[in-house]
């Protein structure tokens, strides 16, 4: 019996689909994660490029958009155990160029920018409450890294009973092995996997309500 057979026999990999109100969550597509000399590498730049039309679609439909940035205090006073595992994370301060969203995806007025100090976009932030206030029930996820902050955010999104949809060509990692393994695992347990094109095509057929103010 193959691993695919085992997952299928145990009824993993079911689809949750889209609800009535989707939002786009772009996780940590900042300069430091597109630079191989800092935190980048692998297929992250390709994922940024694939996210450009997805973001344009959400903006064109006036759907909620949220970005995350990892931001630590200049003095490192809020750096925790994660920074012991990856000390250079402390370089991601409010003013640091490495912590700024890449210019191709620069946030616009009215779009959420969530500052976080942990992997998940939800941990210690107001993201969940803000999305609920806008009537969001589905979260399309792009960003990096697939094995780290994307995965953590997807699991927390599902834990809050949002429907996570991973735009699989819009997520990237510094190494392809962890990227592919975590895509498979998320698809089996936590999220639906679709290309950006499929997300756009699916939502283009839906009649969506206006997002709450």
Judge whether 13 lies within some domain. no
Number of independent structural domains in the chain: 1
Spatial neighbors of 39 by CB under 8 A, at least 6 apart, are 32, 33, 88, 98, 174
Q: What percent of the chain has pLDDT over 90?
A: 92
pTM of the model: 0.95
Give residue 211's pLDDT.
63
Q: At 149, which CATH number? A: 3.40.50.850
Is residue 178 packed enough to be buried (19+ CB in 10 Å), middle (13-18) or exposed (0-12)? middle
Note the pLDDT tens digit of each residue in 76-108. Answer: 999 999 999 999 999 999 999 999 999 999 999
Residue 151 lies inside a defined structural domain of this protein: yes
DSSP character for 88?
G
Active site amino acids: 149
Is 2 a member of any domain? no
* Within a domain: 177: yes
Structural domain span for residue 186: 19-205
């Amino acid at each position: 019996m193959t691993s695919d057979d085992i997952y299928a026999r145990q009824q993993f990999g079911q689809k949750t689909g889209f609800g009535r109100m989707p939002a786009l969550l772009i996780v940590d597509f900042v300069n430091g994660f597109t630079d191989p000399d800092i935190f980048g590498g692998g297929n992250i730049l390709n994922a940024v490029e694939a996210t450009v039309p997805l973001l344009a679609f959400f903006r064109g439909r006036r759907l909620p958009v949220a970005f995350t940035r990892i931001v630590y205090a200049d003095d490192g006073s809020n750096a925790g155990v994660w920074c012991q595992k990856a000390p250079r994370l402390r370089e991601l301060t409010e003013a640091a160029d490495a912590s700024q969203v890449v210019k191709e995806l620069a946030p616009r007025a009215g779009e959420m920018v969530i500052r976080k100090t942990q992997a998940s976009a939800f941990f210690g932030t107001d993201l969940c409450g803000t999305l609920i206030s806008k009537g969001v029930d589905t979260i399309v996820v792009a960003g990096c890294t697939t094995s780290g902050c994307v995965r953590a955010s997807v699991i927390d999104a599902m834990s809050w009973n949002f429907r996570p949809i991973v735009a699989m060509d819009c997520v990237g990692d510094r190494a392809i092995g962890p990227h592919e393994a975590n895509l498979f695992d998320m698809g089996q347990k936590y999220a639906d996997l679709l290309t950006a094109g499929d997300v756009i095509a699916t939502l283009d057929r839906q009649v969506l309500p206006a997002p709450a103010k």
